[in-house]
Structure 1
Amino acid sequence: MKKTKNLVIALIVAAVLIALVPLFALKGAEFGGSDDAGSVMIEEITGSYEPWFTPVLETMIDGELPGEVESLFFCLQTGIGVGIIAFCMGRLVERKKWADNGENV
């Protein structure tokens, strides 16, 4: 029991360090998206960059989406994806349990 308690405490400390160290180690760092970094790099190489298309929602509202809305959509996509993966994994685990008990799936 003591070994498990020590392991849990060590994992909690590691999680806190993983969350806090980047805040202090990366002062002045800019966190941007890969789309922005890609367009900047293409512009440096070729001298000009023209996007092929504009996002559908931006054409519907005649402007750029606020960063908060983009983050909301990203979080929704992540939540839906995690839900689907968790559901499928749960079904696979339950299917194995049912198969071990001799029940029809």
Structure 2
Amino acid sequence: MEKKHIYMLVASLVIVIFSFIINSGAEFAGADGIAEEVISQINQDYSPWFSPLWEPPSGEIESLLFSLQAAIGALIIGYYFGFLKGKRQVKNDSGKNIV
């Protein structure tokens, strides 16, 4: 493993550990719930203008779907960067442009 990869790994671990230490007593909550709370404090008569078509039966399933969505997005982004790297390698190896 190259030094720059080790530095990035250590930096990311420091950021994660630091965020857990700073907010050790904090409750993890979604942004939607917090935003709804703030809006309700500002305007007591507020009612959401949209309701979900389907609500997951439990918080665990909701977390699973969120994680699945994040994984699919990461795969798409990873594929795109891999494609660009392969395209650059072919260009450097052959001196020609592809696609």
What's the TM-score, normalizing by structure 2? 0.73
CA displacement at 1:86 relative to structure 2: 0.6
Q: How many residues align?
A: 93
Question: Aligned to 1:67, which of 55, 59, 72?
Answer: 59
Q: Is the 8 A contact 1:39 1:49 kept in 2?
A: no
State the TM-score, normalized to the length of structure 1: 0.69
Question: Normalized per residue, which structure has more helix?
Answer: 1
Per the alignment, residue 85 of structure 2 pairs with 93
CA RMSD of aligned residues (A): 2.7
Larger radius of gyration: 1
Q: Are 1:79 and 2:63 matched, yes or no?
A: no
The structure 1 segments of at least 4 consecutive aligned residues displaced by more than 3 Å after TM superposition are 11-14, 17-28
Q: Structure 2: state its 5+ residue gaps.
A: none
Query: Is 1:102 aligned with 2:95?
Result: yes
Deviations 1:39-71 (A, max 9, x none): 00011001133111221222xxxxx53111111
Match of 2:28 among 20, 26, 31: 31
